[in-house]
Each structure stands twice: as C-alpha cells, then as structure tokens.
Chain A
Amino acid sequence: MSQPLIDLVNISKSFDGELILDDLNLSVKENSFVTLLGPSGCGKSTTLRIIGGFTMPDQGKVIFNGEDITRMPPNKRQLNTVFQKYALFTHMTIAENIAFGLKIKGKSKDYINDKIKYALKLVNLDGYENRSVELLSGGQQQRIAIARAIVNEPKLLLLDEPLGALDLKLRQDMQYELIRLKNELGITFVYVTHDQEEALTMSDTIVVMNQGYIQQMGTPEQIYNEPENAFVADFIGESNIVPGIMLHDELVEIFGAKFACVDKGFGNNTPVDVVIRPEDIDLVEPEKGTLEGVVTHLIFKGVHYEMEVTTPDGFEWLVHSTDMFPVGKKVGIHVDPFDIQIMNKPASEDEEAVGVNE
C-alpha cells in the first residue's frame, strides 16, 4: 500500500542566479499527509510548484506514480492545488467554480451537479451553489477552493499555505476540517506551511526545509523531540541550544557541569550541541541542581510561567514551568537524562544544511 506516489529526484532550481533548491530529493508515500515546513524563502513553495507543474526545475526529475512528469504541463497532471489566496474565479458562482474542472473534462451535467452537491456537503457549505464568491468569508472561500480541487478526484492534493490568510480561531477549525477531509477522501496531501504548530497538528510526515535543503524529515514527534540539528531544534518550538562536550557515552558536560543523558556513539570528549526544551528544565533548590543560576526574567503566559535563568557563564536559559520563581531568586537547574538531546556540531554552514533523506 505504501508505494511512493511522488518522487522528486535531484531537483535543483534557481531564480535570477539565486539557488532556491539544491539537489533536493523527496519521496511522498501514497495516502500520507506530508508537510513542507520552513521559514519563507526556504524553497518549500517552489517545491510544491514544481510538483504542480507551475515551475520547471533546472535539473532533476519529478516522478508521479512511476511516470516522469517533469515536463508535463499542469493541466495534464492528475493532481490539484489549493492556492494560498484561494484563487477563486470571482466572475463565477460557487457552483460554476466547482464545476470548472469537470466541465473542461467534459463530464455530464448530472454528474457535475451531483459532484457539486457532494463537494459542498463535504466542506459543510450545502446550499451555497448560487452565491457569489466574494460574499464568502475567508474560511468559506478556502473551503470552496478545496471543494473545487477535490471534485476532480485527484490522487494528490497540493495545499500552499491554505490557512495563512485566516485568523487564529478559523485556522484551528480548518485544521481539523482538513484532517477529517483527508481521512474521508483517502487522498495524499502535500501541505506547505511556515507554521510549525500547524505542521505538528496535521501531518504524518514533516519535512523541515531551509535554504533549499531538507534539514530533517520525520514524524511530528521525531521532529520535535529529536531535532537533528540546531536549525530544526530552533525552528520547531523553543529550545535552549548550548555547546557541550560529550565526555563519553551517556555523559555530557555543559558549562563545566556534568549531565547524565541517554545518547551514545559520539565518541569521547567530542564537542557537541545540546538541545534542551524549556519545559524539560526543572527548577529546584540551588544546591539540588546540576547548575546554579539566578532568575532574571519572569512572564506569566497563562498555561505556564516563562522565566529566564542566567548561569554564571552568562547563558540565559529559557524555562517553562507551572511553578513561579521570582526575579532575583537563586535556583538550581535539573534536567532528566532522556530530556537531553545531543547533536553533532556542524563543521560548516554547508554541513548544517545537508539534506537528510533516507
């Protein structure tokens, strides 16, 4: 069942001499929900446009269902796209928008009408057939854009930051809608976003991209809990990334203090980067901690307190805790071994960005 539906092989693309994608390889399995995640300019949208056929790669191949479709124009591809700004046809009614693709394919009137009804039901907008597009709210427009795409029964649905223009509440609702749709329809989604929370909520696979390279690919849990480099760690959630020395397996020294960890195989006395999530730091009495510091900042965030603890070496630790420690108080820092994530230090910028495709 888990055939690769789409394969990007050695894709490179530059605009105006600026390299956007460099030798990118990506494989998307059928029926998966893959999210391309990264800051703007990382190449995620370009990757999507290459799959959709709107941008031609300079090098490399796009394989769809075993067939090379690199040079195939978008209108011949068996996939559909939901665009960032919906791109609805404003001079048409909602029904006409949805029917657009079907009419071009020459489907019968009855078939088209059934499909419109079905699609509107699916996106919870029954009875909107004859409305004008511009009277809809952003969320409704987005749902019409999705309906317009899915009536064509694509094997693959590309979504380019589809929720970017919606407000927070609507965005969260639409996230659930999308997951529901995905499950009901059983088609493959490739989703582009810069919002890490969106990616973590919806995807079964996240591809973190930066500067045209894939930084890490994995399940949301893997990406969050075991970032493979400082970029991923920094981009996904908040992190304390500190330099450390791997003394030997399962023991790392940070700012002169020894922390027990669970990582192995980095060799002895190796310089490494250590990632510790703010919520994984326990603040204890000074003498009970591994490191000692002073609370220098305190903000109440609702669910928890956000604090900054400065250790004698000058590093400011970000700490999330439900317990409050006032500014100026001396505290001890304690981290459980399995909450410590060890990463190799990048030898250079390039290595930091090397793709990690298995």
Chain B
Amino acid sequence: MNKLKRFFQDFYLVLVLIFLYAPIAVMMVLSFNSSKSRSQWGGFTTQWYREMFESPVIMEALYNTLIIAFLSALIATILGTAAAIGISSMKKLPRTIFMGINNIPMLNSDIVTGISLMLMFVAFGVSLGFKTILFAHITFNVPYVMTSVLPKLKQTSKYTYEAAMDLGAGPIEAFFKVVFPDILPGVLSGFLMAFTMSLDDFIITHFTKGAGINTLSTLIYSEVRRGIKPSMYALSTVIFVTVLALLLITNFAPSKAQMEAKAAAAAASGKKPNNWGPKLYKAVLVATSFLIVCGISYTTYRHFDNSNSDELYVYNWGEYIDESVIEQFEEETGIKVTYDMFETNEEMYPIIEAGAVQYDVVCPSDYMIQKMRENDLLMELNLENIPNLEYIDQTYLEKSQSFDPQNKYSVPYTWGTVGIIYNTKRLEELGIEPPTKWSDLWDPRYKGEILMQDSVRDAFMVALKMQGHSLNSTDMTELEDAKNLLLDQKPLVQAYVVDQVRDKMLNGEAAVGVIYSGELLYLQEEAELLELDYELKYVIPEEGSNVWIDAWVIPYNAQNKENAEKWIDFLCRPEIALKNFEYITYATPNIGAFEMLDEETQNNKSVFPDDELLESCEVYQYLGTEADDMYSALWKEIKAQ
C-alpha cells in the first residue's frame, strides 16, 4: 500500500516536471543553440544573449517592463496596504463585502480586465501609452498586495498599536514603529508579488498599450509571426529566471517561527543570538532591490539617451527589418522612430481602423491593402517625396495594381511566392521524381509525407490553381470542386501546419511541403550550417501560384506624413534594401539592391523566379465578407472530416 502511494507520489512529481518544466527547459537549451532551428542542435553559443543586450528594441522593452513593474508595484503596495488596514478595521459584514469586491478582479479573466480598461481609456479620451499601462497594472496589482497584507494584519494584535499610543506615540508614529514592522513581511511579499505579476502580464498590457511602447511580453508576441528569434528565447530565459528568483525570495522568506527557533537554540547554548537566517534574507532582499534599481537606471539611461522631437510611428511585421536600418534612419534624418510590430494582418487592421493608436506608416500585405483602401483607411502618397521609387521594379508595381490599381497608395517592400519544398534524399528513398506541379501533391505514394499550409486561402489556392482557376475565385462550383479535391488529398497529408513546415523539413520529417518562398534562403543556409545529408529544394508549380507583396502604406490618421514618406524613400534606397534583404531573406522588388547581389543569389530561382513563371502567379485580393464566409465554411468542412 505504502509502496503504491510512493509510486503515485513519484509519478505525479515526474508528470509535473515533464508537463510544466520540460518546455521551459527546451526553451532554455535553445537559447544557447547556435542554430536558429528549433529542432537541430548547432553547438553552444551565447550569441543570442549578446544580441539581446545589443538590441535597442529589446532594451527599450526591458526598460518599460521594469519601470512599469517597479512603479506599479510600489504604488499598488502603498494603496493596497492602506486599503488592507482600512478593511481590517471594518465590521464583519462590510469587510466580507469589500473582500469579495477585492477578489473579483483577481478571478476575473485578464482579457475582460484588459478590454474594459482599454474601453474606459478610449471613452475618456486618454491616449493609450505608458500611463495607461501603468494605471492598468496598478489596478490589477492592488488586490494581490491586499491579500498579502491582510493576513499579517490579522495576526497583528490591535493592542500593540494601542500599547504604542499608550506609551506616548502619536498615531502615525505608532503605526510606523509598531504596526508596520509587524506587517512588513506581508507588505514586502505583496510588493514582490505585484512586481512579478506586472512583469508577467501580457493580455492586459496588450490592450492598454499605445503606439511605440512595448513590454517584453508584448514584444515577444509581436515577434512570433516570422518565427521567434533565438534572442527571444534568451530573453524569455532571463525573464523566467528572474521571476523564479523573485518567487523563491517571496516564498522561502524564513518564517518568524524558524527565526525564533534558531535564536532560542543559540540562546540555549549560551551564545549571542546569531540570526544568520534573517540576515541572509535581508541580504538577498537588498541585492534584489539593488539589481532592480540598477536595471531600471541602466535602461532609463538607454531610454533617454536618444530622445528627439521629430517623430515617426512605424507599424511593421515582427522581424521584418534590420534594426540597424532604423538607427541609421534616425541618425540621418534626426527623426525619432517609434517602432511597433504586429503578427498578422488581421491583428493590425482593427488597430488602424479604431484609430486609438496613430501610426504614420504601416506594412500590410496585398489583400489587406485592398481592404484598407476600400474602407478609406489609407492616404495617397506624395510620390515626389519618394524619388527612390525608381529603383522598384516595374513588374512588382504592375502586380501591385491588383490591390492598388494606380499605385497611388503603396510602395512594395518585399514579395515572394508560395511553392513546394522537397527533401531530395527522401524523394530518392520513395523513388519519386521531384514535384513540378500542384497535382503531384495528389500522388498516393506521398502518403503521410505532405505538409499543407493551415490557412484557408493558401489551401484553396493550391486546389484552384491546379484546376486552372483563379486563386481569387468566388465561383461556387469552382470552390466546391476545390473542396472535394482537398478532401481527396487529405488522407495523404501528414499535417496542416503554419510555422512548423520549416522545422519539420529541416528535421527530415516530411518529403514535401507547401511553403512561402521567403523561408527558403534561411532554410537553405541552415541546412548547410547543420551539414544535413540532404538538400531542401523549392519549386513554383507549373500551374502557377500565389505571389504576395507586402507594401508600405500611410494610414488615414497619420500625424507625420512627410516623415513617413521619408521613411519609405529611405527603405527604397538600394543599399538599405539590400541590408533588409539580407536580414529578412524575402525577395526584394528593388532593382538596385538586386544588382548588388552576388550571382549565385541572383540566379536562385526559388527566390527570384523567371518572369514567365511569375506571369501565371496571382496576387490575393480581398474578396469581401460574403466570399470570406464561403471560404471559411468550406474550409471547416475539410478540417472537420
């Protein structure tokens, strides 16, 4: 019986460790992985940590996170302690009611708190920014401080306060000399708890933050789309370790009883009481506070180091620019850039539409630009301010006309295609010729070897193009056919995935996959670095495919239009475009940059396909809500079966 119990105890422990800590351990290991891959070990490195500390964006976010955590915890501690004292002296019924009111925000889901706070700020015309995040954090921190202080107050005899008064202390003196030292452990752990909660928070911050301000959590989130940079693993590791340390300090604070017991033992042995326990605790506390203060001062210094009056608010995909380009732009123009990131077009759209945050320049994708244009969310560009537009290849301007008919609103930034990636070795093993057309993905020999994109338009694009239809089709019969085709293919498909295509391909888990060409250069580099014994090749299927374009636009409510045009012009400069190409690895529409590339890259047909092949490729268009619903319904049918 006992053995069984032991077994279950151990079993539970192992389960906890696996489920809770294995992912974190993986992340920590990856933060030291010199390969960017999530599944291959490329050797030990501290490069990502260095990159993290050198990145102004990350340091800025760190500054925001720390200062918000510190200030909100401090203010919440003062308010919460005062409130706890007030509540503890109430009669039972009102106290119960107040405790209930206090506890609700803690149980309330973060998203409700976040949205309601945002609505309140917008309703009262408070512009979202640092202030609003701080306010929100104070709001959700106060209850935690109160719950931490109240039990201490309960333990404290009310008579000690009276005794202090009796001995001649005034009310304030009595509080600080007698009551406060008694509840100090509760106040301190309340502070640390609040600090940790603030450090941790994502959802509420996400809703209450404004342009150009990121905390670490929102920064990490905005980087998710193009695959998280390993320096984010490093950052997450640092956050985890920090939070862990804070929690340890809060929870393992030697209890009074232990301290007393030690003192008693010392007294009994005739020695002067030697309370190293509390001393150590104090030392750790002091050290922690010192570290926090240092961190804040350092980041404050970094923060105010480059303050400027002329501004530009940029809203771009995460991981979609070489950060040194921003610095260079700032140095050259004296314009202070506030740089924000989004993860999906759909996430960006409502923020621009609501107008709560006023961005000057945004980089959405083709169909989204069409939607924004149709909804009057864009301003016409003054092309005179963008002389470098001449470097943009006419081909891409023509392609852009499918969403911006007169090229009045947008300037292409990157582009790419969707195609098939395949593992040469795996194909040999299966004895299949390399694929050339979409219909090859219906070859039963590929059973369990196919990775499809987990997105409606991309999945239907494959089937529509294969049938020779437009990928912007809204014809019900065409779509029904496409659906049936996809259903036919489904038994062969290993998985519908988004990001994992590249990891799975690198790992050799599948033979073929549908992938964005932008991932390719990165994948090929990585494959070389890892010395894989197979090649990853890319083909744009003969039937034609999707060509996508991300382009810069200026939203209707931009406050610094001229600066935005300067920005676009700057990015069209060939050497800048080159820099960004090398960083992002997505094809550049910039001829000047293309000409500067080495021959090998220029001839990489996967990245820069022949014009005639490109002819058969189409750009996605915004099809309207009705068609959107139709696509979604059909997609649901496919996924459900």
**Cβ contacts under 8 Å, B165 to chain A:** 53-54, 73-75
Q: Which residue of B lies closest to A98 (CB)?
A: B167
Q: Is B181 an interface residue (CB 8 A)?
A: yes
In the bound complex, residues from chain B placing their C-beta under 8 Å from that of A73 are: 165, 170-171
Expressed in whole angstroms, the minimum distance between the Cβ of B92 and any Cβ of chain A is 12
A131 on interface, CB distance cutoff 8 Å:
yes
Q: Does A321 contact B (CB under 8 A)?
A: no
* Contacts of B350-407 to chain A: CB distance below 8 A: none
Q: Which residues from B are CB-within-8-Å of A52? A: 162, 166
Q: Say whether chain B's binding surface is mostly helix, strand, loop, or mixed.
A: helix
B164 at the interface (CB under 8 A from A): yes
Q: Across the interface, which residues of B come within 8 angstroms of A53, CB to CB?
A: 165
Q: Knowing A100-B164, A131-B267, A135-B260, say if A87 contacts B169 (CB, 8 Å).
A: no
A134 — which chain B residues lie within 8 A by C-beta? Answer: 256, 260
Indicate if the CB atoms of A84 and B182 lie closer than 8 Å: no
Known: A87-B162, A89-B178. A75 touches B263 (CB 8 A): no
A132 touches B273 (CB 8 A): yes
Contact A105 B168 (CB under 8 A): yes
Would you give the shortest CB distance from B160 to chain A, in whole angstroms?
A: 5
Asked if A80 is at the interface (CB within 8 A of a chain B CB), the reply is: yes
Task: Report yes or no: A89 in contact with B273, Cβ–Cβ below 8 A.
Answer: no
Interchain nearest-CB distance for B399 vs A (Å):
75
Q: Mark A145-182, 1 if CB is under 8 A from B, else 0.
A: 00011001000000000000000000000000000000
On whether the beta carbons of B181 and A91 are closer than 8 Å, the reply is: yes
Q: Which B-chain residue is minimally distant from A152 (CB atoms)?
A: B167
| Contact with B167, one of A80, A84, A85, A90 (Cβ below 8 angstroms) | A80
A84 to B181, CA, bound (A): 22
Q: How far apart sit A137 and B22, CA to CA, in the bound complex (Å)?
A: 51
Cβ of B264 < 8 Å from any Cβ of A? yes
**Quick one: which of B163, B167, B263 contacts A104, CB cutoff 8 A?**
B167
Q: Does B19 contact A (CB under 8 A)?
A: no
Q: Which of B166, B174, B263 contacts A132 (CB 8 A)?
A: B263
- Residue B159, interface by CB 8 Å: yes
Binary flags per residue of B132-174, CB closer than 8 Å to A gives 1, else 0: 0000000000000000000000000101101111111111011
Q: Tell me the smallest distance from the CB of A352 to a CB of chain B, in Å.
A: 32
Residue in B168, B182, B273 whose CB lies within 8 Å of A90: B182
Chain B, residue nearest A160 (CB) = B159
List residues of chain A with CB within 8 A of the CB of B173: 104
Q: Is the Cβ of A85 less than 8 Å from the Cβ of B162?
A: no
Do A104 and B168 form a contact, CB below 8 Å, given A87-B157, A89-B178, A134-B260? yes
Q: Mark A55-76, 1 if CB is under 8 A from B, else 0.
A: 0000000000000000001110
Candidates B163, B256, B273; contact of A83 at CB < 8 Å: B163
A102 smallest CB distance to B (angstroms): 9
Chain A 77-96: CB-based contact to B (< 8 A → 1; otherwise 0): 00011011101111100000
Q: When the two chains form their complex, are residues B167 and A148 in contact, meaning their CB atoms are under 8 A apart?
A: yes
Residues of A close to B263: CB separation below 8 A: 132, 135
- A286, CB-defined interface residue at 8 Å: no
Find out whether the CB atom of B168 lies under 8 angstroms from the CB atom of A152: yes
B168 touches A101 (CB 8 A): yes
A99 to chain B, nearest CB (A): 10
Cα–Cα, bound, A81→B168 (Å): 11
Q: Are A75 and B169 in contact, with the CB atoms below 8 A? A: yes
Q: Which residue of A lies closest to B268 (CB)?
A: A135
A87 to B169, CA, bound (A): 15
B83 smallest CB distance to A (angstroms): 23
Cα distance A89–B181 in the bound complex, in angstroms: 9
Q: Size of chain B's interface in residues, with CB distance under 8 A? A: 26
Complex Cα spacing A73 to B162, Å: 11
CA distance A158 to B202 in the complex (A): 57
Residues of A within 8 A of B256 (CB): 90, 134
A87 touches B159 (CB 8 A): yes
Asked whether B267 lies within 8 Å of A75 as measured between CB atoms, the reply is no
Distance between Cα atoms of A157 and B14 in the complex (Å): 63
Complex Cα gap A110–B254 (Å): 35
Out of A85, A104, A132, which one reaches B169, CB within 8 Å?
A: A104
- Which residues of chain B are near A87, meaning CB under 8 Å? 157, 159-160, 162-163
User: In the complex, are the beta carbons of B267 and A74 less than 8 A apart?
Assistant: no
Are the C-beta atoms of B157 and A91 separated by less than 8 Å? no
By the criterion CB–CB under 8 Å, are A75 and B159 in contact? no
Cα(A88)–Cα(B163), bound, Å: 8
B contact residues around A84 at 8 Å (CB): 159
Q: Taking the nearest CB of chain A, how far is it from the CB of B413, in angstroms?
A: 63
Among residues of B, the one whose C-beta sits closest to the C-beta of A90 is B182
Do B163 and A81 touch (CB < 8 A)?
yes
Cβ of A135 and Cβ of B159 under 8 Å apart?
no
A73 to B182, CA, bound (A): 23
Nearest A residue (CB) for B91: A16
Nearest CB on A from B435, distance (A): 76
- CB neighbours (8 Å) of A81 from chain B are 162-163, 166
A-side contacts of B164, CB under 8 Å? 89, 100
Alpha-carbon distance A132/B274, docked complex (angstroms)? 12
Q: Are A83 and B162 in contact (CB under 8 A)?
A: yes
Which residues of A are found within 8 Å of B260, using beta-carbon distances? 132, 134-135
Query: Which of B165, B168, B169 neighbours the largest number of chain A CB atoms within 10 Å of its CB?
Result: B168
CB within 8 Å of B: which of A94-149? Answer: 100-101, 104-105, 130-132, 134-135, 148-149
Closest chain-A Cβ to B612's Cβ sits at a distance in Å of: 84
A105 to B167, CA, bound (A): 9
Chain B 265-290, CB within 8 Å of chain A: the 1/0 string?
Answer: 00100001100000000000000000
A106 to chain B, nearest CB (A): 10
Provide the residues of chain A in CB contact with B163, threshold 8 Å.
Answer: 81, 83, 87-89, 148
Closest chain-B Cβ to A322's Cβ sits at a distance in Å of 45
Residues of B within 8 A of A90 (CB): 160, 182, 256
Q: Is the CB of A75 within 8 A of B178?
A: no
Expressed in whole angstroms, the Cα–Cα distance for A148 and B159 within the complex equals 14
Which residues of chain B have C-beta atoms less than 8 A from A100's C-beta? 164, 167, 169, 177
Interfacial chain A residues near B171, Cβ < 8 Å: 73
Q: For B177, what are the chain A residues with a Cβ–Cβ distance below 8 Å? A: 100
Complex: how many Å from CA A132 to CA B267? 10
B160 near A75 with CB under 8 A, answer no
* Separation of A164 and B256 alpha carbons in the complex (Å): 26
Q: Which residues on A sit within 8 Å (CB–CB) of B264?
A: 135
Give chain B residues whose Cβ lies under 8 Å from the Cβ of A54.
162, 165-166
Minimal beta-carbon separation of B165 from chain A (angstroms): 4
Contact call A83/B167, Cβ cutoff below 8 A: no
Q: In the assembled complex, which residues on chain B have CB atoms less than 8 Å from the CB atom of A105?
A: 168
Q: A131 to B272, alpha carbons, bound, how many Å? A: 9
Chain B residues, CB < 8 A from A80: 166-167
Sample 9 A-B pairs with CB under 8 A, ordered by A number. Answer: A75-B168, A80-B166, A83-B163, A87-B157, A87-B163, A90-B160, A91-B181, A105-B168, A148-B167
> CB within 8 Å of B: which residues of A?
52-54, 73-75, 80-81, 83-85, 87-91, 100-101, 104-105, 130-132, 134-135, 148-149, 152
Closest 6 CB pairs of A and B: A101-B167, A87-B159, A87-B163, A91-B181, A74-B165, A83-B159
Q: A74-B165, A74-B166, A100-B177 are in contact. List 10 more A-B contacts (CB 8 A).
A: A73-B171, A74-B162, A75-B174, A80-B166, A85-B159, A88-B163, A90-B256, A101-B167, A149-B166, A152-B168
